[in-house]
Structure 1
Amino acid sequence: MVTRVVLATHNAHKVEEFGQIVARTRPDLEVIGYDGPEPIEDGVTFAENALIKARAAHAHTGLAALADDSGICVDVLGGSPGIFSAYWAGQKKDAAANLALLLDQLHDISDPHRAAQFHSTIALVAADGSEHVVQGIWPGRLAHAAAGQGGFGYDPIFIPDGQDAGSERTVAEFTAAEKQSQSHRARAFEALIPLLAGL
């Protein structure tokens, strides 16, 4: 028997990525996209915004709801863009403009000071209304120029830690399977697995 879980996003990339991550450990769960009204994300943390979205999706559908609030946090920028990652270059949510602005802001920053982390906070509102929040962090640094054709958002400029020296790649140069097994969302989902057992 397949259990449906709504993912509180209108971002088709996130729905696809979450579906692939979930399928690796819970093939009995079907992740579906959210078609309801977009709530106002007025939280000041990833956790607050994830809960706002999960609560809205649960209320709209009556299903258990997952919501991811994620972004890139750059050390030299004091953790920014952070919760403003999707809007870094303005309210249009223009991924290319966001990436270009971040690269421009760091144009004269040397490698030792380009540390960054992808953060993913996943909120779960179960069918009974109970709420849970987990977090995943993927450490790395920012490249000086975009590279790779895969992924989305800031993937073309994020170089994850732990790669072999001399063959470091951006996330946009990873295969889908590599990203799904290592990403911030995958790490958050690992923490979520025990909570999904009751769905």
Structure 2
Amino acid sequence: MSRRLVLATRNPGKVTELRDLLTGYEVVGLAEFPDAPEVPETELTFVGNALLKARAIAAHTGLAAVSDDSGLCVDALNGMPGVLSARWSGRFGAEHPGGRDRANLELVLDQLADVAEPERGAHFVCAAAIAHPDGREHVVEGRMDGRIITAPRGTGGFGYDPVFEVAGSGRTTAELTPREKSEISHRGRAFRALAAYLTTLTDP
């Protein structure tokens, strides 16, 4: 019976986060599989992208694979950037080191410049998927509601965190501690739901 899971990322922080939630499993990342394929996020939904990556890594490693896709959905932008959140500004890759997050954030603020405060609602979504080598699959989703403020606040987090004020908190996600953010974030909620699903299994 295998208790080993591979998380489809080369980000050690994400591996640590999932490892902390799944204490009964050995969680490894793609650093353990340097020849693992890069899987483009070509689907039109968070669920589709999460499954796409999980399936590819499960097939490559022969292990149960976990993947996630997440993004910001702004009401006044008809749910965009959505699955395009990481590349909303068109700046990505080595061409713009360190500048992509800022460019994405500034573009959203520009697009909402004439939108009144009551209409600046938004939410983050995360879909987390597990694909098993035998073909079984399971997907869960997490959501965090809030609004887009007019200017960045806070120094923590990344991406759109400095302009996303969590509903009912009065603080942006960039003003929360990592632990506070994990407790209420879309990713934290999705991965806790995935952990709950895994407790129902006898073999991942």
Q: Is the contact made by 2:91 and 2:103 (CA closer than 8 Å) also made in structure 1?
A: no
Report SS of the residue matched to 1:149.
coil
Q: Is the contact made by 1:150 and 1:173 (CA closer than 8 Å) also made in structure 2?
A: yes
Partner of 1:5: 5
2:20 partner amino acid: A
Q: Is the contact made by 1:21 and 1:180 (CA closer than 8 Å) also made in structure 2?
A: no
2:13 partner amino acid: E
Q: How much has 1:130 moved relative to structure 2?
A: 0.8
User: How many Å separate the matches in 2 of 1:159 and 1:191?
Assistant: 24
Q: How much has 1:108 moved relative to structure 2?
A: 2.0
Report SS of the residue matched to 1:28.
coil
* Percent identity between the two aligned chains: 48
1:191 to 2:193 alignment:
yes
1:90 partner amino acid: G
Displacement over 6 Å in runs of 4+: none
Partner of 2:55: 55
1:32 to 2:38 alignment:
no
Q: How much has 1:159 moved relative to structure 2?
A: 0.7
1:80 partner amino acid: M
Partner of 2:17: 20
Q: Is the contact made by 1:19 and 1:30 (CA closer than 8 Å) also made in structure 2?
A: no
User: How many Å separate the matches in 1 of 2:40 and 2:18?
Assistant: 27
Q: How much has 1:21 moved relative to structure 2?
A: 5.1
Structure 2 segments unaligned to the other structure (5+ residues): 94-99
1:171 partner amino acid: T
Q: Is the contact made by 2:9 and 2:15 (CA closer than 8 Å) also made in structure 1?
A: no
Q: What are the residue-to-residue correspondences of 1:75-114 with 2, within 5 Å?
A: 75-90=75-90, 92=92, 94-114=100-120
Q: How many residues align?
A: 191
Q: How much has 1:173 moved relative to structure 2?
A: 1.0
What TM-score, normalized to structure 2? 0.85
Report SS of the residue matched to 1:27.
coil
User: Cα gap change, 1:21/1:61 in structure 2, threshold over 3 Å: closer, same or farther?
Assistant: closer
2:154 partner amino acid: G
User: Cα gap change, 1:29/1:42 in structure 2, threshold over 3 Å: closer, same or farther?
Assistant: same
Report SS of the residue matched to 1:38.
coil
User: How many Å separate the matches in 1 of 2:91 and 2:26?
Assistant: 31
Alignment equivalent of 1:159, drawn from 162, 165, 178: 165
2:108 partner amino acid: L
Q: Is the contact made by 2:59 and 2:133 (CA closer than 8 Å) also made in structure 1?
A: no
Q: How much has 1:16 moved relative to structure 2?
A: 1.4
User: Cα gap change, 1:162/1:18 in structure 2, threshold over 3 Å: closer, same or farther?
Assistant: farther
Structure 1 segments unaligned to the other structure (5+ residues): none
1:121 to 2:127 alignment:
yes
